[in-house]
Chain A
Amino acid sequence: MNESINLKPGQINGETGIWEMVIGLEIHAQISSKSKLFSGASASFGAEANSNVSLVDAAMPGMLPVINEFCVEQAVKTGLALNAKINNVSIFDRKNYFYADLPQGYQISQFTKPIVGEGEIIIDLDDGLQTTIGIERLHLEQDAGKSLHDQHPSKSYIDLNRTGVALMEIVSKPDIRSPQEAGAYVKKIRSILRYVGACDGNMEEGSLRADCNVSVRKSGEEFGTRCEIKNLNSVRFIIQAIQSEAERQVEILEEGGKINQETRLFDTSTGETRSMRSKEDAHDYRYFPDPDLLPLEFSDSWVQKIRETLPELPDLLKKRLVTDFGITPYDASILVEEKDYVDFYQKAANGKDGKLTANWMITELFGALKKENISLSDSPVSPENLGQLIALISDGTISGKIAKDVFAEMMISKKSPSDIVKEKGLEQVSDDTEILKLIDKVISENEDKVKDYLGGKDRLFGFFVGQVMKISQGKANPSIVNKLLKEKLK
């Protein structure tokens, strides 16, 4: 590789020139619904194996699916949040294949007529730029059960708790050009889903998973043959898998080979993808409309009613934070990433210095939480207490430096900052006479340095400030110390 070439993200510098990636994502988002898509069984995660299974889920003879209207509403809500076309008539199809954890022998999905059509979203990239990614469609489908292959030397066990749980599959257009964009896209979709409340976006529990379609081409060429990497459950893996898959494809093409259209799996231990099945082995799913279900039909006025229940979505919210709180667009974009970030921020910044609050929240609070591996919802520092800390800084009760100590204490004891300040006597000293006493003490103890300073060694000014701060135990107001010292040492 020629290291001197400045590659953009998503570009690969091969022997024959620069390649670019073409990426499309299929995101499977589990709908936050108490019951399953076509049965009344609980859709909760983590229950004892096979305890959330209805007769319908187990595909007993003569059992029939009945659509869960709540799930339909969530799909429409999400569609509206993706700026997408809502199809007033959509159809459920059967996707037929045999597997032990698929009791019906088919998955009920939507094939030719999905509930949501084309849309688009804007994603934020690290360099502060934005780009638009097209949405191809969103459809409703059932999840399959779980096969457990590690419980017995020769048998597999089946857990049907997940069978029939409602999923939305959100399919992007092949508009994504780098692993980083793919990561930003997933984050944005997750954020929208959480705002809307349609999915908790929890990737560890599998509520959000992605299949990535990756191909490579030289700039301006037609799309190359793609491979699909199945079932990625973290943004980091998505980024790694796409990068490694694209590099694999470039290597094959540059050696004169051809890409086999196939389904691949990402091995998290090696960081590489491996073949799962080729196109020739691909299932023929024999899709056809499910005769047990009527087409889903709803009116424009029903869609309008759903639209009215939509919360403020991240893009608009971001603009509002900039105007209302005077923060930078960059900080705003971090804060709107997650709905609970904004909620926390708006509570903390209420009536306070918005900019200072944003700084503290993003740098100090997020930093501390990350270090402790705690999520914001479990933060020992409440939004009210962070707001109080900001107020204490703003009105000069404590200095920024002391505030950091107070904050550290807040993380441990969960106490309010004013209590901590009071208990430890950390109020900032801003009284001129008090500070002058300290200054006099420092001057009398360092007469030689005063002489040097007055003789032209300007650098020593910092030393005097430091000494005053030190004997005040950090409580002296630094700007007053500065001012009085300057006057004293004229």
Chain B
Amino acid sequence: MSDLLKFDLLSASIALKNKEFSSLELTNAYFEAIEQTSALGAYLEIVKDHSINMAKASDKNFKNGTARPLEGLPIGVKDMFCTKDIKTTASSKILENFCPTYESTVTQNLWDDGAVMLGKLSCDEFAMGSSNETAARGNVINPWLKNIKMSPGGSSGGSASAVAARSALAATGTDTGGSIRQPAAFCGITGLKPTYGRCSRWGIVAFSSSLDQAGPLTRTVSDAALMLNSMAGHDKKDSTSANLEMPDLMNYLDKGIKGKKIGIPKEYTQDGISDDIVTFYEKSINWLKESGAEILPVSLPHTKYALPVYYIIAPAEASSNLARYDGVRYGKRNEAASLDEMYEVTRGNGFGEEVKRRIMIGTYVLSSGYYDAYYLKAQKVRRLIKEDFDNVFEEVDYILTPSTPTTSFELGKKQDPLSMYLNDIFTVPASLAGMPGISLPVGLDKLGLPIGIQLIANSFDEPGLISTARVLERSAEFNFIADGAAK
């Protein structure tokens, strides 16, 4: 059985088509893996009967020669995606028994392309966090170190941990300020945040509407391309969804980067970045150079404002987006004598500390008297940050940065929210600019923890992003498997 776990999404897809094994066999292998790795806490919900039915249906399609692009491939779903008749909680107590009657566009796209659903994956509560420690149902463990409980990153920590632990062939994630790329980096896998507007937000529990974007967490760049092909697409139900055809990313896997220009932003090499990461960042630069790219120093002068801007805009939108969790229509309700008291106890008990902190920050920055100084100013600076990227993409094709300033940290060790927020320092700017970014593993640090490198492309240049990431992936030859992965 365990042999089946060695296949990645693309190779499993080929093997299934060649009838080397069935989707049912593959899916069962993953349920064994889920059981084996259950101590990691990645899954909130498994839906075995449902999965098996989907796998059987896929096997029928293989038999009939009607296989679709993701036919029979078992994947996990971050709990931010609403899934029809399957509990969707956003890792929050306030939605602990919420079961949607509808399916998010992105997951529907995946099922329509034949993917098999394994279950729902943990994340930070309402995707607010960088360590998966804000999840209502407890921590998720990074499978890389057996003896120390390390954070998988966040907010898509369950997704990243499951893919790294081989308890999912791939998983969906959402990225608001780095929630796909940072956990991918921490867990030694590939995480792609598409251009804002590429994937429909319809049916994804909203955190920060102007930033949220769904994307894949996978073992390889090819897998990311294969999965994003299915996830992306215009959706009339999301007014911010881009009405643009995405080219078949599988055609861009081997385009190479000869003659392409890669920008190295000087603002991304600051104090506080770990030596091992600096080393691999430099290695990565050299690999790209050796592969025929031209390396150019560039400047994104407003980078230092990105984190403060993000921590104004995202909480502002969140404070409004989370107002609907009021105990009136669905989700948890604590009864009380008056409406206002009911709100207080329901929301007071239903939300965790980090969510409450952000709701308060967001409420504050939108309040009359503070709006201009915080929210409005942040929006202006966000425009400047976007212009920084626009200017740099006049000169270069892609930007290379570390994904995170450090590798994973021990669970429970980062108590101060500000130092937690610093985790996203390299991922937040591209989110604010709406540009696509990918993190891929390039090596291990002294402790044996994965190091992620980030490539950023211009809006809607996912094809080029994939080509470039593939070059880096080949050079890095990252073939390590997490210690805690299913065997």
Contacts and interface: CB of A to CB of B under 8 A. Distances in A.
Contact of B367 (A105, A286, A292): A286
B368 to A, nearest CB: 5
Contacts of B328: 100, 103, 158
B363 A104 contact: no
Interface string B366-391: 11100100010000000000000000
Given A98-B343, A158-B328, A294-B240, A60 B371 contact: no
Interface stretch (B231-239, B295-303, B410-418, B458-466): B231-239
Interface string A93-104: 010101110011
B446 interface: no
**Is the contact region of chain A dominated by helix, strand, or loop, or is it mixed?**
loop
Interface in A250-288: 284, 286-288
Contacts of B90: 61
B87 to A, nearest CB: 12
Contacts of A294: 239-240
Interface stretch (A5-13, A62-70, A172-180): A62-70
B380 to A, nearest CB: 13
Interface in A282-310: 284, 286-288, 290-294
A61 B95 contact: yes
A68 to B, nearest CB: 12
**Is the contact region of chain B dominated by helix, strand, or loop, or is it mixed?**
loop
B148 to A, nearest CB: 35
B202 A62 contact: yes
Nearest to A95: B320
A480 interface: no
B205 interface: yes
Interface stretch (B56-64, B96-104, B248-256, B266-274): B96-104
B239 A64 contact: yes
Contacts, number: 99
B201 A62 contact: yes
Interface in A137-185: 156, 158
A64 B238 contact: yes
Contacts of B319: 96, 286
A106 interface: yes
Contact residues on B (Cβ < 8 Å of other chain), bracket: 35 or more
Nearest to A158: B328
Interface in A393-417: none
B239 A292 contact: yes
B326 interface: yes
Interface in B186-207: 201-206
A59 interface: yes
Contact of A61 (B205, B320, B339, B363): B205
B320 A55 contact: no
B202 A61 contact: no
Nearest to A97: B323
B98 A61 contact: yes
A58 interface: yes
B339 A100 contact: yes
Most chain A beta-carbon neighbours within 10 Å: one of B319, B320, B375: B320
A106 B329 CA distance: 15
B84 to A, nearest CB: 12
Given A58-B329, A60-B330, A103-B324, A66 B104 contact: no
B367 A284 contact: yes
A105 B326 contact: yes
A61 B367 CA distance: 25
Given A61-B205, A62-B206, A64-B237, A286 B326 contact: no
A62 B366 contact: no
22 contacts: A58-B330, A60-B82, A61-B82, A61-B90, A61-B98, A61-B206, A61-B324, A62-B100, A62-B204, A66-B239, A96-B320, A96-B323, A98-B343, A99-B339, A103-B329, A104-B323, A105-B320, A106-B320, A287-B366, A288-B371, A292-B206, A294-B240
Interface of A: 55, 58-67, 94, 96, 98-100, 103-106, 156, 158, 284, 286-288, 290-294
Given A67-B239, A94-B320, A98-B343, 12 more contacts: A61-B82, A64-B201, A64-B202, A66-B237, A96-B320, A98-B340, A100-B339, A103-B324, A105-B326, A158-B328, A292-B240, A294-B239
> What are the 5 tightest A-B residue pairs by CB atom distance, in nearest-first order?
A105-B323, A286-B366, A291-B209, A291-B210, A59-B324
